[in-house]
Amino acid sequence: MINLEFFLEILFPSLLEGFIMTMKLICWSIPIGLVIGIIIAIGRVYGNVLVSFFSKAYIIFFRGTPLLILLFILYYGFPSIGIYLSPFVAAVIGFVLCSSSYHAEYIRGAIQSVRSGQILAAQALGMSKLSAVLNIVLPQALRRAIPGCSNEIIYLIKYSSLAFMVTCIELTGAGKIVASRYFTYTEVFLVIGAIYLMIVSLATKLLNVLEERASFPGWENKK
Amino acid sequence: MKGPEGMKQKKELILQIKDIHKSFGGKEVLRGISFDVYKGETKVIIGPSGMGKSTLLRCINQLTFPDQGTIWLRDQEVTHHNLREINLFRQKIGMVFQDFNLFDHLDAVRNVEIALIKVKGMGKKEARKKAMHELKKVGLGKQASLYPAQLSGGQKQRVSIARALAMDPEVMLFDEPTSALDPELIGEVLGVMQKLAREGMTMVVITHEMGFARSVADEIIFLEKGKLLESGPPEILFYQPKYERTRRFLFKLTELYGDLNGKK
């Protein structure tokens, strides 16, 4: 039963579809999650009472609820209030909410580690606070946040498998279907595990390159 | 003494500090400070540490808001304005910090040009040209592409002076610009400041470099316990101070930082 034919003609074609879906999920979720994470972090550090409170609540709520529960609410719960999301959209929204709340905390830490004199000097030149944050603080803070945010991105790649639970057939889901039909759990999940490992290794490599590119003289000793 | 261009033929009022009060946590660090700064004049502020000198300087460009009193730049009140207008005033009031505060992620020339681009809306080419010009003026034309971490303390401080000068300020504030420097690097920064003074820049300088004060200051202001205890031209303040307290403080300074006539 288990032979080359199974791998080539049954497993790989369906895994390929799943793989494409997984890539689509993470390619949407990573950048949107990062951007929202940055906004929430800025809101938390520099926002007025209301904005800062909202940011804190956002982080507490989305970091504090299991992602699976979040996905169930989005996909199975929302129709009861008239919002119907496709499995893909529900998954992306869930991932974005979860990962942005983690990013926000990494970035907040990085923002707060930028010396206060930096923003003072920018303001003394006539920069508005917002401009100082965007042009002076963020470029430094984001560099410092790369290791933490890389961590979160790698988590996201792996927890994208939860999309399967809201019927979005990505890599894990596609594998599960094949595995239960042919009763080849070990083989299928070994292959899937290897594929995740490959994606994560590639992502790690890319993030390391990014980290190196973003460094500048005097930065090395801060790593 | 100042060169002829630095002389105040027609007294043009640049900065007025009127009755500034500031408290931190119930402790009043500034208790009603007033003085005027005229065009081309260099004022040197001295006084014991923790007596509000830096706070006073920060009140002038509203990095700290005074509790009471007003600041005037020419005929416009700086205090009690909204943030947008304060940003406009700050462009005209250059500031140099004790610990440089260069932007760590930008090389020297970008440090100087960033405010030109982001605040003044200058084109990139024009800003680069202006930034290079300012860097050359402080003797750092060759260091333009070095990052703060690659510069010595004295070079960093000169970049920060160039950065402030690039905005074409009406007045420059120096907050102990040489206190964080190794002794052998102090001279290059003071040299740049002396040159500025000679060229007629209006400056308010907090420093304990008495040689500098002696050669450049038009007036020395002695702050103590949040009040302006005594002020006057260096010749008077150094040799015939009104108060025993001033005399003792100056004596201590010269003991620590060298002879009054040490610098020419």
Please give, rounded to a whole number of angstroms, the shortest distance from the CA of B239 to a CA of chain A: 36
In a domain, B67, yes or no: yes
Digit-coded pLDDT (tens) for A52-63: 999 999 999 999
Contact A125 B99 (CB under 8 A): no
Q: Which pLDDT value is given to residue B11?
A: 84
Domains of chain A: 4-222 (1.10.3720.10)
Q: Which residues contact B87 (CB under 8 A, 6 or more apart)?
A: A123, A126, A127, A128, B119
Helix (H) or strand (E) run with residue A191 in it: helix A185-214
Q: Given A118, A120, A128, which is nearest B87 (Cβ)?
A: A128
Contact B83 A122 (CB under 8 A): no
Instruction: Using alpha carbons, list the distances in angstroms from residue B137 to B109, B223, B234.
Output: 13, 32, 28
Question: Strand B13-24 vs strand B68-73: parallel, antiparallel, or unpaired?
Answer: antiparallel
Give the mean pLDDT of chain B.
Answer: 90
In a domain, B233, yes or no: yes
Rounded Cα gap, residues A72 and A87, in angstroms: 10
Q: Which pLDDT value is given to residue B9?
A: 56
pLDDT at A17 exceeding the cut of 50: yes
By the 8 A CB rule, do B193 and B162 touch? Answer: no
The alpha carbon dihedral of B118, B119, B122, B128 has a sign of: negative
pLDDT at B258 exceeding the cut of 70: no
Rounded Cα gap, residues B257 and B16, in angstroms: 30
Nearest chain A residue to B112 by CA distance is A125
pLDDT at B3 exceeding the cut of 50: no
Q: How many CB atoms lie within 10 A of CB B43?
A: 24
In a domain, B4, yes or no: no
Contact B90 A122 (CB under 8 A): no
In a domain, B143, yes or no: yes
Q: Which has more pLDDT, A134 or A8?
A: A134
Contact A140 B104 (CB under 8 A): yes
In a domain, B136, yes or no: yes
Digit-coded pLDDT (tens) for B158-202: 999 999 999 999 999 999 999 999 988 999 999 999 999 999 999
Q: How many domains does chain B have?
A: 1
For the entire predicted model, the pTM comes to 0.86
Digit-coded pLDDT (tens) for B211-255: 899 889 999 999 988 999 999 999 898 888 899 899 888 888 877
Instruction: Grade residue B10 by pLDDT with cuts at 50, 70 and 90.
Output: low
In a domain, B2, yes or no: no
Mean pLDDT of B13-18: 94
In a domain, B145, yes or no: yes
pLDDT at B55 exceeding the cut of 70: yes
Q: Which of B70, B7, B66 is nearest to B36 (CA)?
A: B70
Nearest chain A residue to B85 by CA distance is A126
Contact B147 A217 (CB under 8 A): yes
Rounded Cα gap, residues B121 and A60, in angstroms: 40
Instruction: State CA B63 to chain mean position distance.
Output: 14
In a domain, B264, yes or no: no
Contact B115 A118 (CB under 8 A): no
pLDDT at A220 exceeding the cut of 80: no
Q: Which domain holds residue B150?
A: 12-257
Instruction: Give percent above pLDDT 70 in chain B.
Output: 93
By the 8 A CB rule, do A141 and A109 touch? Answer: no
Instruction: Grade residue B260 by pLDDT with cuts at 50, 70 and 90.
Output: low
Number of CB pairs < 8 Å for A and B? Answer: 78
Please give, rounded to a whole number of angstroms, the shortest distance from the CA of B219 to a CA of chain A: 25
CATH of the domain at B143: 3.40.50.300
The alpha carbon dihedral of B30, B34, B36, B42 has a sign of: negative
Cβ-based contacts of B167 with chain A (< 8 Å): 125-126
Please give, rounded to a whole number of angstroms, the shortest distance from the CA of B164 to a CA of chain A: 7
Digit-coded pLDDT (tens) for A72-109: 999 999 999 999 999 999 999 999 999 999 999 999 99
Instruction: Give percent above pLDDT 90 in chain B.
Output: 71
Q: Which has more pLDDT, A42 or A10?
A: A42
Q: Where are the alpha helices (DSSP H) in B93-225?
A: 108-118, 124-137, 153-165, 183-198, 210-216
SS3 category, B167 = coil
